[in-house]
């Protein structure tokens, strides 16, 4: 992505206009920040900011030789047009959502991620095209130039809607394949653990700590992707990365997912539904939180993350980066609303990771079952299957019978019950 010399602009209705996050996003997109302008006031329908602030912005652009402006707000096409009439020619105006989409586009490495980015961009473009058409009609009406535009305008909107439908169908096929794959993994005795949380909280680093093997055998594991990079950069992980791990003796699949961020509109979240499916359908979600954040940021990021998670998902809070935190109690207070108490770790140093593995193991759904079967070759094959798919606690031979006690994922226990019934017929 070709970077610009950027001035950051942010307007808030009340309070303080914090710019740390939008600055981090701008830097993640490769831009150089050369200035900043903030304003506390209600939105101006013409310019978003007040006209006086826009004039000051124009002066700062000239003084800093800036080539672009990033607004930590959403700009309508009309507002962008009006601002463009005041600032120097050739200045690129980027709003918050366009900036995020630019980052997503650069980071989309898989076919699924590329489709999701395309879908998000179309959802972003559609209302802007519709508003541009409305403005064009107003101008045409003012000039008494009626007719001749309608068919062309409708075609633009129809084309976007048709492209949205085609991409949604493709993503639906991917989601169906993912659903089938999750069922196959569970049938193989693997529990599903998702790493979720605010972007840059350390999820990818934690995955590298937990994974049994970072390499991918493409012939044996065609559904697994290359391990997520661990770079101090927002949205370094855009799709999902899944690895097998053995956590306190339990075989699981751990999936690293896209990071959350505040104020994401519904259309953008919806575009990544297939990626977020790994979170929705997990047996357990480890909500990774940067414990080194200030308390206000902690509360905001935890709330943002909760808003992206389903109400019925089981959540284990994970306070990461405790190696640089003096007061862990502050971070614990930020996650006190969760059912499970938090685990404290440093994914970089490895501190607390063994305890986290035990905590995950204890939090995963499991059932216990005991079977008493006739001593036969078929029963021995059942015992072998149980060892491959569950945690076999005891096998006792008593003359003509064999008793087996096992613990496993509910789907495995259901399979064991069906297999045992077949043996007793």
Cα-flanking dihedrals φ and ψ of residue 49, to 5°? -85, 175
**Secondary structure tally for the chain: helices H, strands E:** 14, 13
The whole-chain average pLDDT of the chain stands at: 85
What is the rounded distance in angstroms from the CA atom of residue 44 to the CA atom of residue 393?
Answer: 68
| Residue 385 and residue 358 in one domain | no
258 is in an annotated binding site: yes
pLDDT at 26: 93
What is the rounded distance in angstroms from the CA atom of residue 289 to the CA atom of residue 298?
Answer: 8
pLDDT at 153: 61
pLDDT band at 233 (very low <50, low <70, confident <90, very high): very low
pLDDT band at 299 (very low <50, low <70, confident <90, very high): confident
19 is in an annotated binding site: no
| Residue 336 and residue 371 in one domain | no
387 is in an annotated binding site: no
Q: Which of 317, 335, 363 is the last residue of a domain?
A: 363
198 is in an annotated binding site: yes
Q: Is residue 340 part of a domain?
A: yes
Q: Which domain holds residue 307?
A: 189-363
Q: What is the CATH number of the domain that holds 382?
A: 3.30.70.600
Q: Is residue 183 part of a domain?
A: no
Q: Is residue 184 part of a domain?
A: no
Q: Which of 363, 380, 403 is the last residue of a domain?
A: 363
256 is in an annotated binding site: yes
Q: For the whole model, what pTM was predicted?
A: 0.78
Q: Choose between 134 and 224: higher pLDDT.
A: 134
Contacts of 340 (CB under 8 A, 6+ apart): 314, 315, 316, 317, 359, 363
pLDDT at 212: 86
Q: What is the CATH number of the domain that holds 101?
A: 3.40.50.11060
| Residue 162 and residue 30 in one domain | no
307 is in an annotated binding site: no
pLDDT at 228: 44
Q: Which of 85, 105, 125 is the last residue of a domain?
A: 105
Of all residues in the chain, the percent with pLDDT exceeding 90 is 49
pLDDT at 147: 52
Could you write out the DSSP letters of every residue in 85-125?
TTSPTTPEEEEHHHHHHHHHHHH--SHHHHHHHHHHHHHHH
161 is in an annotated binding site: no
48 is in an annotated binding site: no
236 is in an annotated binding site: no
Q: HSE of 87 in the Cβ direction (CA atoms, 13 Å)?
A: 26
Contacts of 356 (CB under 8 A, 6+ apart): 286, 318, 343, 345
| Residue 270 and residue 306 in one domain | yes
Residue corresponding to tokens 């590298």: 208
Q: What is the pLDDT of residues 359-394, one digit of tens each?
A: 999 999 988 999 999 999 999 999 999 998 888 999
| Residue 384 and residue 251 in one domain | no
- Average pLDDT of the residues in 307-327: 86
Q: How many domains does the chain have?
A: 4
202 is in an annotated binding site: yes
Q: What is the pLDDT of residues 134-171, one digit of tens each?
A: 777 777 776 655 555 555 567 889 999 999 999 999 98
Q: Is residue 182 part of a domain?
A: no
pLDDT band at 298 (very low <50, low <70, confident <90, very high): confident
| Residue 240 and residue 376 in one domain | no
Q: What is the CATH number of the domain that holds 255?
A: 3.40.50.300
204 is in an annotated binding site: yes
322 is in an annotated binding site: yes
Q: Is residue 180 part of a domain?
A: no
| Residue 415 and residue 268 in one domain | no
CB count, 10 Å around CB of 362?
12
pLDDT at 216: 37
| Residue 344 and residue 200 in one domain | yes
| Residue 251 and residue 152 in one domain | no
242 is in an annotated binding site: no
Q: Is residue 386 part of a domain?
A: yes
Q: Please say whether the beta carbons of 297 and 207 come within 8 A.
A: no
Q: Is residue 371 part of a domain?
A: yes
| Residue 235 and residue 342 in one domain | yes
Residue 118's DSSP bridge partners are: none
| Residue 211 and residue 315 in one domain | yes
199 is in an annotated binding site: yes
259 is in an annotated binding site: yes
Q: Is residue 64 part of a domain?
A: yes
- Average pLDDT of the residues in 237-252: 80
| Residue 249 and residue 359 in one domain | yes
């Amino acid at each position: 992505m070709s970077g610009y010399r950027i001035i950051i602009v942010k307007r808030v209705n009340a309070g303080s206009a914090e710019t740390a996050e939008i600055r981090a996003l701008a830097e993640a997109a490769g831009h150089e920040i050369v200035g900043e302008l903030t304003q506390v006031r209600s939105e101006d329908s013409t310019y978003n900011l007040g006209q006086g602030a826009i004039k000051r912005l124009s002066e700062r652009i000239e003084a800093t030789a800036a080539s672009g402006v990033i607004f930590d707000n959403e700009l309508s096409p009309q507002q962008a047009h009006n601002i463009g009439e005041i600032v120097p020619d050739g200045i690129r105006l980027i709003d918050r959502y366009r900036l995020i989409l630019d980052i997503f586009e650069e980071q989309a490495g898989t076919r699924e991620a590329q489709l999701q980015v395309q879908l998000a961009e179309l959802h972003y473009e559609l209302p802007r095209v519709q508003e541009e058409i409305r403005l064009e009609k107003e101008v045409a009406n003012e000039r008494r130039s009626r007719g001749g535009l309608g068919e062309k305008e409708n075609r633009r909107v129809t084309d976007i809607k048709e492209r949205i439908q085609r991409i949604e169908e493709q993503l639906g096929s991917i989601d169906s394949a993912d659903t089938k794959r999750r069922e196959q993994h569970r049938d193989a005795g693997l529990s599903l653990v998702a790493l979720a949380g605010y972007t840059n909280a350390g999820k990818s680093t934690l995955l590298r700590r937990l994974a049994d093997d970072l390499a991918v055998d493409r012939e044996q594991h065609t559904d697994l992707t290359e391990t997520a990079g661990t770079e101090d950069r927002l949205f370094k992980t855009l799709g999902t990365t899944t690895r097998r791990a053995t956590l306190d003796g339990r075989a699981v699949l751990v999936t690293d997912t896209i990071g959350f961020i505040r104020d994401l509109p519904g259309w953008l979240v919806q575009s990544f539904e297939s990626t977020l499916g790994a979170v929705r359908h997990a047996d357990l979600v480890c909500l990774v939180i940067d414990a080194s954040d200030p308390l206000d940021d902690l509360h905001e990021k935890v709330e943002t993350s909760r808003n992206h998670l389903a109400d019925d998902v089981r959540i284990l809070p994970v306070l990461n980066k405790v190696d640089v935190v003096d007061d862990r109690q502050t971070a614990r207070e930020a996650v006190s609303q969760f059912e499970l108490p938090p685990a404290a770790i440093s994914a970089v140093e490895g501190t607390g990771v063994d305890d986290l593995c035990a905590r995950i193991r204890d939090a995963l759904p499991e059932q216990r079952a005991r079977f008493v079967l006739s001593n036969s070759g078929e029963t021995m094959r059942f015992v072998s299957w149980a060892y491959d798919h569950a945690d076999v606690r005891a096998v006792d031979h008593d003359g003509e019978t064999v008793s087996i006690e096992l613990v496993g994922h509910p789907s495995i226990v259901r399979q064991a019950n069906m297999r045992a019934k077949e043996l007793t017929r």
